[in-house]
Chain A
Amino acid sequence: MRLRPLGDQALIRRLVICAAVASGPAAFVACGGGSNEPEEKPIPTVLTPELLASTWAVRMVDAATRAPFEANPGWAELVIRRDYPAALSAFSSGNVEKGLGRVHMELAAAYRQATLINAAATENVFGRDRRDEDPAFTHCLRAVAEAITAKPDVSQASYEACKGEGFRAVEDGDLAAEAKAWAWSEATGEDLSGINGHLAALKASSGTAAFFGDSTDTPWNEIVGTMPGFDVLPHFSGPDRLNEGTVEGVHAGSLAALAEAHRQAALSAWPDGAAQISAALEIWRLPLEDSTFSIPDVWDDALVFGSSVLAGPDYAYLAELSRTDDAKLTTENARTNSPLAAALAPCLKSEAESSPTVDVECVVDAAAGVHAQVRAEMVARAGEPEDYHRAFYDLARVSVLRAAADLAAANGEELTMGRLRILALERSTGPAADPVPLLQLAAWDAGNRNVVRAQEPLHGQVGHLPGVEAARYPLDSLHVRLSRESGPAVPVH
């Protein structure tokens, strides 16, 4: 392979871009032309032939299997461009219920991560980094955030502080009611499946009433095919206690409500897929939510194609990981059916009597191995390399890295989890730039007060996910606070 000169920049980028601009029935075979395959190397065996054959990327080489996904341009918009509005529009036009279900499911996951960004930043800026000048209503913002991150006791204390510091019942009544509803949600037995109770409170606020309407019966069907946002942002504002400026806020529950709206829309759009959607969403549940899913018997390709899993059983493996106390056992149990578990099982290593830990270098090698295996198998089945292959096998590699991060999290290795999420981020280019895991890393960073890295992926979604900028308010406040408390710095070139 030779690099083309600068004058051929367009050609150099073509492989990545051409898939992104293609749409319609030929979306995945639109990029004809020269091969850009790297030199051949020995292909490691990470997956057994059976598991390799079960991956969506390999199966999609078959034209008949791929055909349903070429029948509507929504799939290309979703999988290649990660353009949710365009995908929804295309699926709505074609009345593709599985496509609508899939997009709303992903949106639910994305808004849940935005919820967590808001919550984590709020807890930091108005909790750990609270300053005397912060107005009383920020305690209420904090109460909601703490409820969502499953800290009911501190949430209730924050609510009491909100009231105790001269909270203005008339002007700020909506926020008080909402904060109270969230703070006591666990005590009243309302998990997020009971979010309708919260939504009833949320409806009273100016920001959320617009899309939930006046009825307590949430009109989920009306949301299918749409992306509701907020008419006005921010929802709350008030002078700081020194009267030097105005503090603006949106509580995390508003974003949780958007997430819930999309979850309900996904179930409404594709009723037969409800069990699968619920199980697939399990890995993205909020800390507040209980784990209630059951593993479905079958996984429809509509949930797997172009996703962050290699095959349907991976969803079950990741969902089990999210609630297990024994990551190694869960991985061992899943490795016969789940390609991701099979790839990662050898990377849980232990020395002598110590507990097993995730070996990052082993994971990187496993991801590269899966990448190479999927690529080779796709070429073997197609007879020759085709340009759409790259988008698929690149996604396979990132899937292994992302799942390894989940495995590390389940194994209690937060630093390793972070390292793996960053490695996954670095491989998340082109079609692999799935907004959900990018926002997930941003949420973790917001919790770690790493505001610069958290802001970029969030900023990248503003304009694509209506209302997601609601996560920006506390993150911006946290950034300003932290930067003013850092050592001096001068601009450099």
Chain B
Amino acid sequence: MGRRRHLLIAGGLTAAALSTGGSLTYYDETLPTTLNPLYASSMVDFRSQELIFDRLWFNSSINNELESRVVDSWEMADGGRAIRLTLKSSIKWHDGKPFTSKDICFTVQAMLDPGTPSPIAEGYRDILAGCKTEGNSVAKVTFKKVFHNPRQRLGFAVLPRHAFRNNTRISPDLEFSARPIGTGAMKGSRGTRGVVFSAVENPHHRAKIPQLQMQEGNDPLLQVRAIMNNAVQGIIAVSPPYRAEISARDELALKSYDLRSWWFIALNTAKAPLNNAKVRQALDYILDRNELREKSIGVKPGERNSPCEFISGPFVQSSPYYNRQVPTKDRSDMAKASALLTEAGLKKTGGTWSSRGAAVNFRLGMLKSMNTEAPDLLEYVGNQFGAAGFGRQSFKISTDEWNREMLTGKAKNYDMLIGKWSFGQVEDVNDLFNTRKTGKGTRNIFNYSRADVDKLLDNYDRAKTDTAAKDAYHKLHAYLADDLPYLFLWKLDTKSAWRTEVKSNTISPYFYFTEFDSWKYDG
């Protein structure tokens, strides 16, 4: 009873009788938009799906070994252009149907089906050529060419053929997206207020925690209070200002979560006056990133080991793709900004910038869930542009709207959008900056289009050697830092908090719950 009251008070959510003995509740940034692995568009989606599905191969979070829970053995075939997989026996889908090689081939064929409009599947179309079953337990997956480490490329989640009635044209809006069937440790069901995961016994999974309840985290302070009161047992992303408080508590542990996330303000390069590079450059000088970081994330200038580090291009500074020759802009430089705006033909009257006789107003939006990590960032950014002489209207954008409008390039009413992108080991940014066309530029928010950029991205794609690929991205970095389709802000480390009653809770890089079977809860 007391625990439910805490939930109601701290989270503003109904407890909904979801906490049974040994079950865990945690806050994630928002609710997943889909539980279908082909359509993950956020880290929340990936994390949730990782509990429900098995990926063909995954890397151990401890020693990085490539492992599989569903493949018993494998051998190369056809001179290295194919891999023959023998599956483990007795694995069942969550609905009790047997898991077979037909499911592997169905998943491959679904990804190869042009009628499946999935950006993730699009990537696999460049790699995979087909799949054939050899009985119920053997699948032969064929590649388009010989690869050095073919298993490393087979990290996709396996889908149940029977759930789609063998129709390989998979649409994002099926019932499956809310109530999927997987072979993972937990069965998942998405409701309007959360996701309930229930353990499913299987030969290849033995979760020790019977039930897991995911809720949407809102106010970071309330999240922290809830975990301190044991109303929830985990927080996926702890707001930086509260990390010290959490790490000082014996009953809580701050956990590392390896994720490369960088933050940006996308600029609508199709709309005046932002279609003028000088105006974009001026805005880059107006931003005082030090102040933004200090106010919203709580990092003092010059703080050592800061979780938040400025960037000058579309990579984190520790990445080999980051061009370290391009300096960051930490402080504002209003003189340079004014000079650039004047050169661009804008006029300042009575403290307000105008273009062609009209005051310049910006419609500024931010992905709402980011407010948890950087409270009030939207207002602080708006205030800085306001103080510089621009009108602005600010909007917090739901994840659904972000996926529906921003990711699809339909956000024409906005001038600026604050967002973040997350990556694992692969830091391919082509989808962000390539001109939108078939299979390319699928995440290009304002439909930015430059022939020079497309060429650099193509150079990266076609690079025969690692150094050529790195060179292409270094040049891209330098180009974007000047042309500024984005104002690049910072990378921000993600840290989770879990109560110490939750044990053996190894957090896997990027996917988070890959090794959930080992988690224990003594609560």
A residues adjacent to B (C-beta < 8 A): 3, 5-6, 9-10, 12-13, 15-17, 20, 36, 38, 41, 81-83, 129, 131, 133, 240, 242, 244-247, 360-361, 364, 368, 371-372, 390, 414-415, 418-419, 422, 425-427, 429-430, 433, 445, 448-453, 455-456, 458-460, 475-477, 479-493
The residue in chain B whose Cβ has the minimal distance to the Cβ of A414 is: B63
Task: Say how far A440's CB is from chain B's closest CB, in angstroms.
Answer: 15
The answer to whether A489 and B465 touch (CB under 8 A), given A390-B248, A449-B64, A450-B64, is no
Task: For B42, list chain A residues within 8 Å (CB).
Answer: 492-493
* Stretch from B150-158, B198-206, B332-340 contacting the other chain: B150-158
Q: Which residues of B contact A493 (CB under 8 A)?
A: 41-43, 367, 402, 419-422
Cβ of B428 under 8 Å from chain A: yes
- Cβ–Cβ contact A491 & B421, under 8 A: yes
**Given A9-B241, A242-B464, A361-B503: 18 more A-B contacts, CB < 8 Å:** A6-B241, A9-B298, A10-B298, A82-B304, A131-B148, A240-B465, A244-B464, A372-B250, A415-B62, A429-B244, A452-B425, A453-B509, A476-B320, A480-B321, A486-B425, A488-B123, A493-B41, A493-B422
Minimum CB–CB distance for B76 against chain A, Å? 15
A411 and B34 CA atoms in complex are apart in Å by 45
The answer to whether B431 and A490 touch across the interface, beta carbons within 8 angstroms, is yes
Report whether A489 and B426 are in contact in the complex, using a CB–CB cutoff of 8 Å: yes
- Tell whether B463 is near chain A: CB-to-CB under 8 Å: yes
Bound-complex Cα distance A236 to B49 (A)? 45
B226-249 interface (Cβ within 8 A of A): 228, 241-245, 247-249
Q: Is the CB of A81 within 8 A of B304?
A: yes
Q: Is B251 in the interface zone, CB < 8 Å from A?
A: yes
- Nearest Cβ in chain B — how far from A78, in angstroms? 13
Chain A contacts of B429 at CB under 8 A? 491
Residues of B within 8 A of A371 (CB): 250
| Residues in A neighbouring B425, C-beta threshold 8 A | 451-452, 479, 482-483, 486
CA distance A364 to B255 in the complex (A): 14
Contact partner of A489 (CB less than 8 A), chosen from B254, B300, B424, B432, is B424
Interface centre among A244, A415, A433 (most CB of B within 10 A): A244
Pairwise interchain contact B64-A445, C-beta atoms closer than 8 A: yes
Instruction: State whether the Cβ of B20 lies closer than 8 Å to any Cβ in chain A.
Output: no
Partner of B221, one of A5, A133, A246, A481: A5
Closest to A16 in B: B244
Chain B positions within 8 Å of A459 at CB level:
317-318
B residues contacting A by CB (< 8 A) are 40-43, 45-46, 59, 62-65, 119-120, 122-124, 126-127, 147-149, 152-156, 220-221, 224-225, 228, 241-245, 247-251, 253-256, 258, 260, 298, 300, 303-305, 317-321, 367, 375, 402, 419-429, 431-432, 442-443, 463-471, 500, 503-504, 506, 509
**B242 contacts across to A, CB distance below 8 A:** 3, 12
Question: Which chain B residue shows the least CB distance to A418?
Answer: B62
Please report the C-alpha to C-alpha distance between residue A196 and residue B478 in the assembled complex, in whole angstroms.
43
Cβ contacts under 8 Å, B443 to chain A: 490-491
The answer to whether A133 and B250 touch (CB under 8 A), given A460-B305, A489-B123, is no
Are the C-beta atoms of A246 and B153 separated by less than 8 Å? no
Q: How far is it, in angstroms, between the C-alpha of A448 and the C-alpha of B463 when the chains are bound? A: 26
Q: Find out whether the CB atom of B124 lies under 8 angstroms from the CB atom of A487.
A: yes
Cβ-defined contact, A368 with B221, below 8 A = no
Contact A491 B63 (CB under 8 A): no
A479 touching B256 by the CB < 8 A rule? no
Q: With the chains together, A83 CA to B303 CA distance in Å?
A: 12
Residues of B within 8 A of A422 (CB): 62, 256, 506
Report B443 CB to chain A, min CB distance, Å. 6
Give every chain B residue within 8 A of A452 (Cβ-Cβ): 258, 260, 424-425, 509
| Residue ID in chain B nearest A472 by CB atoms | B320
Q: From A448, which residue of chain B is reached at the shortest CB distance? A: B64
Contact (Cβ within 8 A) B428 A489 = yes
Q: Could you tell me the distance between the alpha carbons of A82 and B471 in the complex, rounded to whole angstroms?
A: 35
Chain B residue contacts of A449, Cβ below 8 A: 64
- Are the C-beta atoms of B442 and A490 separated by less than 8 Å? yes
Task: Say yes or no: A455-B258 contact (C-beta < 8 A), given A486-B153, A489-B424, A491-B423.
Answer: no
Cα(A419)–Cα(B63), bound, Å? 9
Pairs of residues from A and B, 4 with the lowest C-beta to C-beta distance, nearest first: A488-B123, A245-B467, A476-B320, A459-B318
Contact A6 to B375, CB < 8 A, known contacts A453-B509, A480-B470, A487-B153: yes
Question: Which A residues lie within 8 Å of B120 (CB)?
Answer: 488, 490
Closest approach, in angstroms, between the C-beta of B499 and any C-beta of chain A?
Answer: 13
Residues of chain B contacted by A81 (CB below 8 angstroms): 304
Contact of A492 among B46, B153, B154, B244 (CB under 8 A): B46
Q: Assess A485 versus B149: contact at CB under 8 Å? Given A15-B244, A456-B318, A493-B367.
A: yes
In contact, A245 and B225 (Cβ under 8 angstroms):
no
Q: How far is the CB of B39 from chain A (nearest CB, A)?
A: 11
Partner of B298, one of A13, A83, A482, A489: A13
Residues in chain B near residue A240, CB distance under 8 A: 465, 467
Measured between C-beta atoms, what is the minimum distance from A420 to chain B in Å? 10
Are A425 and B62 in touch, CB under 8 angstroms? no
Taking a contact as CB atoms under 8 Å apart, the answer to whether A245 and B119 are in contact is no
- Which one of A448, A455, A486 contacts B63 once the chains associate, using CB atoms below 8 Å? A448
Given that A38-B251, A422-B256, A490-B431 are contacting pairs, would A244 and B423 also be in contact in the complex, using a CB cutoff of 8 Å?
Answer: no
Q: Which residues of A contact B258 (CB under 8 A)?
A: 452-453, 456
Residues of A with C-beta under 8 A to B506: 419, 422
Residues of A within 8 Å of B119, CB to CB, are 490
Q: Most chain-B CB neighbours within 10 Å: which of A246, A476, A493?
A: A493
Taking CB atoms, residues of chain B closer than 8 Å to A456 are: 258, 318
- Please give me the residue from chain B that is nearest to A371 by CB atom: B250
**Given known A-B contacts A3-B221, A486-B425, A415 and B63 have beta carbons under 8 A apart:** yes
B168 to chain A, nearest CB (A): 18
Q: Please, could you name 24 A-B residue pairs with CB atoms under 8 Å apart, sorted by A?
A: A17-B244, A81-B304, A82-B304, A245-B467, A360-B504, A361-B504, A368-B250, A414-B63, A418-B63, A419-B506, A426-B256, A429-B254, A450-B64, A452-B424, A459-B318, A476-B470, A480-B320, A482-B425, A487-B127, A488-B126, A488-B127, A489-B423, A490-B428, A490-B431
- In the complex, what's the smallest C-beta–C-beta distance from A5 to chain B, in angstroms? 7
Closest residue to A476 on the B side, CB-wise? B320
B400 to chain A, nearest CB (A): 12
- Residues of A contacting B424 in the complex (Cβ-Cβ under 8 angstroms): 452, 489
Decide: A484 and B466 in contact? CB cutoff 8 A. yes
Give complex CA distance A12, B245 in Å: 6
Give Cα distance in the complex from A485 to B62, angstroms: 20
